[in-house]
Structure 1
């Protein structure tokens, strides 16, 4: 659980850099690559603690065919997978991925971090409250 918490904290750093379109110290490619690695490690840890399912693994295999990185997300009971899409993902690749997922019996939704359905929370140090970015 400590490792999963550390991954969450490190992911926050990567998301901050991506929101700023990278920086001189950490360009976009490095930020995406690091976040993809964290997603893979987190999915492996979730599998080790026994909260995975064959359907989740199947979705991860399908998205991996296209070079994407995916992980189980949500509070359980329904089974939902988060897949990171880079900004330069072509519409053709995305259409092919969606077709493969639908053919396997899965639905897909596209969103952006911070939009309805996906929120990114940060701790406001001055007021000690959470705010959505």
Structure 2
């Protein structure tokens, strides 16, 4: 009940953003298993223009990630990059690996305006493999 009352207490703009974040996370989670990664990368980096701030977008994706079972760091990173791109914000989705006792572990995080938005607490010892950049249109 607390989540429902918290949702209703949000402004209309924030409610729409939370619903958008939830839908994007669910789509990415499903798409990762059935579409080629190159298609998902192109979709996540498609530019647009909007009025939502980086902080509000990050808040919405993080809040929904905590509540949607199975939302991995890669799911969250793709969803965040997608919404940031559609709102006209440049970002980079990074993927790294680290050696663990049980083998290799992978991690994804998103950087925007020089700040790590999602995945910052776990990225410390991961060796950087790739960064996928999303750049807004220059209209």
Q: Specify if TM > 0.5.
A: no
* Higher RCO (C-alpha under 8 Å, 6+ residues apart): 2
Could you say which structure has the higher strand fraction? 2
TM-score under structure 2 length normalisation:
0.30
